[in-house]
Chain A
Amino acid sequence: MDITREEKDGVVILRLNEDVLVENFQELKTVLEELITRENDRIVIDMHRIQYFCSQGLGTITSSLKIIRERGGDIKILNPAGRILKLFELTRLNKILDILQEEKDLKERFQLPTP
């Protein structure tokens, strides 16, 4: 799975360059687990390039989110396309995830209380 990783102001940005499918969602899981192990607890997942996110992929995010929030960090979602946003809305994950529309002041966003 093609994921570009960037680090800015202590925030790790994972840019998903490829749809998250049942065949490859494990790779996203691996990346998130690795970040958790290294205590990189400020993660932004940039979804603007993708159109499909399998249900297991959503589960990967929620299970990582649980661990990271317990440590005071967060996983935020950046710029999901309409299709992906719909998945978050239908599963009400939009209520528990912080969904950002633009990539600015990321550091400050992590200091605000999470939804």
Chain B
Amino acid sequence: MTTTPAGDAPGQMPGNLTTRCLVFQHAALPPALLPLLRAGGVREIEIITAQQIATITQPQMADFIAVVDENDEQLSVQAERLRQNTQWKLLPWLVFGAETEYTRRVAVLRRGFWEYLQFDDEERTRKKIGLTIDFYRNCRISRHMEGWVSFQFKSEYSFVREVNFFISRLQYMTTLTQAEIEDIQYAFLEIGNNAVEHGNTGNPEKLVDISYLIFEDKLIIRVADEGQGFDVSKIRNPLDDDRIEHARGRGIFLVKQMMDEVDFNDKGNVCLMTKRFAPLPATA
């Protein structure tokens, strides 16, 4: 298996995986914050006010949450309410402020936030954002909880392989064996390459959308391309006597052998693959 290591710099994910951040803010958005987040590698920023927080219930997709340290009562209450929810709680919550006092920082950490980052310490803050994103992406898998990773990449084979490298980390966090991980990787490479080659017809500007959802006992990978799809019912069994010597038609067949379930949507441009595994034994 040829793999390409993830980017060297913290926060630089393979390919062009988008880093997304939710900013929780009430009174005013400090002018230094957004440039700082962008410098830390964040591509997508969504600003959420305290009033909006009050209406949120469902977890949202983000790599971390940036809370503006405003000493704002309403913001704190709402943030605490969200953090009762496991999925919200497991997101990295970083507090951004101008406070230089050590005691304030400790107070923030004691309340379960991951880090207190100062606007005026740009170098450290930028690095810390990158490290947080990396760390969180790893432990989001490691907790073998319900969770998801989702991103888009341009139609290039090299990105498919880089994503595949990411899948290899599952072996440290689930009961999947090395051989099973390699099966998943093979299946993902075949489906991912099909999406690039047939779905998006090799046009690098078209996007491939990948999600994988990790449950206690299964992994679901979804691969969607922007192409015309294909007639799934026309896939022939490559084991048929008249097919065995044919050049094509083995990819999806192999994927079906290696995964527990493989389904396509009617159009044929979205593939869902499931691999089941035993849950990790409960630890004390």
Contact = CB atoms under 8 A, between A and B. Distances in A.
Interface string A88-113: 00111100100000000000000000
Interface residues of B, number: 23
Contacts of A55: 190, 248, 250-251, 254
B248 A21 contact: no
B247 A60 contact: yes
Nearest to A19: B2
B278 interface: no
Given A52-B1, A54-B190, A96-B244, A59 B239 contact: no
Contacts of A52: 1-2, 186, 189
A93 B189 contact: no
B244 A93 contact: yes
B245 interface: yes
A87 interface: yes
A66 B247 CA distance: 10
B136 interface: no
B192 to A, nearest CB: 9
Interface string B234-277: 00001100001111111101100110000000000000000000
Contacts of A62: 244-247
B2 A63 contact: no
Contacts, number: 61
B216 interface: no
A65 interface: yes
Given A54-B189, A56-B251, A91-B250, A21 B2 contact: yes
Interface of A is mostly: helix
B245 A65 contact: yes
A56 B247 CA distance: 7
A54 B193 CA distance: 10
Contacts of A17: none
B244 A83 contact: no
A93 B244 CA distance: 8
A51 B3 CA distance: 11
B157 interface: yes
Interface in B37-96: none
A23 interface: yes
Contacts of A58: 250
Interface of A: 18-19, 21-23, 51-52, 54-56, 58-60, 62-63, 65-66, 83, 87, 90-93, 96
Q: What 3 pairs between A and B have smallest CB-CB spacing?
A: A59-B247, A55-B251, A63-B247
10 contacts: A18-B2, A22-B157, A22-B193, A52-B1, A54-B193, A54-B251, A62-B246, A63-B245, A91-B239, A93-B244
Given A59-B248, A63-B245, 8 more contacts: A21-B2, A22-B157, A52-B189, A54-B190, A54-B251, A55-B251, A91-B238, A93-B244
